[in-house]
């Protein structure tokens, strides 16, 4: 594209208008996040440097990114990364994009991880279906006495998780294991966490295109009733958890009763339920019954 170079303010306005026309919920926010990410500028810079013209290749990159967003690719997928619990994390097609709601699980588990760390010299954390490594890495960053293992069925996800650990200076306390739930796991852990796939198979096709086209179905599809992963995890969890350990799982908004029953049947008791920003049940914590 030739002609006069556009300014940052013009790029923002163009993106916002096109997102608005396409009916996106937050056109202004999306335009800001996308353009600040692509140009490597803070959102304050976008305003204070609004009159600066951008280089041709930056203009092209913004145009291309806008087209991708209009084809439903989420902004952070286009940028290739997003922040979770203050940590910048790379995304890949094999990983779920970490959601702010999942920080609720981290908050609830963290309290127990700290308590356990004060009682034991060091604690071991297992994150089943770790994806980007988000949950485990957030816990490790907050809990210096902890070491973590991230397991996943996808080798590509594990490579992403490993890169994220290195990038955040947590590589020496984080290990990865290719495993279908507990299949290839050894040893016992003080804390087990998971955000497993929990959407009913029949519901996947009704999800927003941003989710169903770009989040891997292996990270979403929980089988016919959405509960397959919880059953698989609960049946074996007792063998991998220290007696005083805690297991925390993310759940769908209407799964509290069903998931609690699955864990109770395997000898666990619910010790905490946390709600997300939309006031839905989102995280459950269990301990083994004495």
132 binds ligand GLN (CB under 6 A): no
Distance separating alpha carbons of residues 167 and 163, to the nearest angstrom = 6
Please state, as a whole number, how many other Cβ atoms lie within 10 Å of the Cβ of residue 75.
24
Nearest to 106 by CA among 122, 90, 130, 82: 130
Q: Which residue number, 199 or 237, has a Cβ lying nearer to ligand GLN?
A: 199
- Report the nearest approach of ligand GLN to the CB of residue 51 (Å): 40
Candidate residues 9, 41, 204, 211; the one interacting with ligand GLN per rule CB under 6 A: 211
Distance separating alpha carbons of residues 109 and 132, to the nearest angstrom = 18
- Report the nearest approach of ligand GLN to the CB of residue 77 (Å): 14
Whether 225 has a binding-site annotation, put simply, is no
Whether 3 has a binding-site annotation, put simply, is no
Q: How far is CA 58 from the centre of its chain?
A: 29
Q: Which residue number, 93 or 169, has a Cβ lying nearer to ligand GLN?
A: 93
Nearest to 207 by CA among 196, 216, 199, 195: 199
Q: Which residue number, 142 or 228, has a Cβ lying nearer to ligand GLN?
A: 228
Helical H segments across the chain, by residue range: 8-21, 27-39, 43-48, 56-70, 75-79, 102-119, 134-142, 155-167, 209-212, 228-240, 256-265
Binding pattern to ligand GLN, positions 177-196, x when CB under 6 A? ------------------xx
Residue 287 Cα distances to 67, 89, 148, 210, 249, angstroms: 48, 30, 19, 36, 12
Whether 88 has a binding-site annotation, put simply, is no
3-state secondary structure of 254: coil
Distance separating alpha carbons of residues 139 and 168, to the nearest angstrom = 12
Token pair recorded at residue 107: 């908050």
Q: Which residue number, 33 or 203, has a Cβ lying nearer to ligand GLN?
A: 203
- Report the nearest approach of ligand GLN to the CB of residue 216 (Å): 10
Candidate residues 197, 216, 245, 248; the one interacting with ligand GLN per rule CB under 6 A: 197
Binding pattern to ligand GLN, positions 77-116, x when CB under 6 A? -------------------x--x-----------------
- Report the nearest approach of ligand GLN to the CB of residue 106 (Å): 14
Candidate residues 125, 220, 232, 259; the one interacting with ligand GLN per rule CB under 6 A: 220
- Report the nearest approach of ligand GLN to the CB of residue 19 (Å): 21
Q: Which residues line the annotated binding site?
A: 129-133, 152, 181, 195-198
Q: What residues line the site for ligand GLN (CB under 6 A)?
A: 96, 99, 195-199, 211, 220, 250
């Amino acid at each position: 594209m030739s002609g006069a170079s556009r300014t940052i303010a013009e790029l923002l306005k163009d993106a916002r208008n096109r997102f608005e026309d396409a009916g996106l919920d937050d056109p202004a926010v999306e335009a800001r996040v996308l353009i600040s990410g692509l140009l490597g500028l803070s959102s304050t810079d976008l305003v204070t440097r609004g009159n600066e013209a951008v280089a041709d290749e930056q203009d092209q990159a913004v145009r291309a990114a806008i087209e991708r967003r209009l084809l439903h690719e989420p902004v952070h997928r286009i940028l290739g990364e997003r922040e979770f619990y203050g940590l910048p994390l790379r995304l890949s097609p094999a990983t779920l994009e970490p959601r702010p709601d999942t920080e609720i699980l981290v908050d609830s588990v963290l309290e127990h991880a700290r308590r356990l760390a004060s009682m034991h010299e060091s604690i071991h954390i297992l994150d089943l279906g770790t994806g980007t490594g988000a949950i485990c890495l957030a816990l490790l960053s907050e809990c210096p006495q902890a070491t973590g293992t991230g397991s996943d069925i996808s080798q590509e996800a594990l490579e992403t998780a490993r890169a994220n650990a290195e990038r955040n200076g947590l590589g020496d306390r984080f290990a990865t294991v290719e495993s279908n739930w507990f299949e290839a796991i050894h040893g016992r852990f003080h804390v087990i966490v998971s955000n497993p796939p929990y959407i009913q198979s029949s519901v996947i096709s009704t999800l927003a295109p941003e989710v169903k086209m770009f989040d891997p179905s292996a990270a979403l599809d929980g089988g016919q009733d959405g509960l397959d992963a919880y059953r698989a995890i609960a049946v074996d969890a007792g063998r991998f958890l220290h007696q005083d350990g805690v297991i925390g799982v993310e759940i769908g908004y209407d799964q509290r009763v069903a998931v609690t029953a699955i864990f109770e049947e395997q000898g666990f008791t619910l010790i905490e339920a946390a709600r997300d920003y939309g006031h839905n049940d989102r995280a459950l914590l269990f301990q083994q019954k004495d």
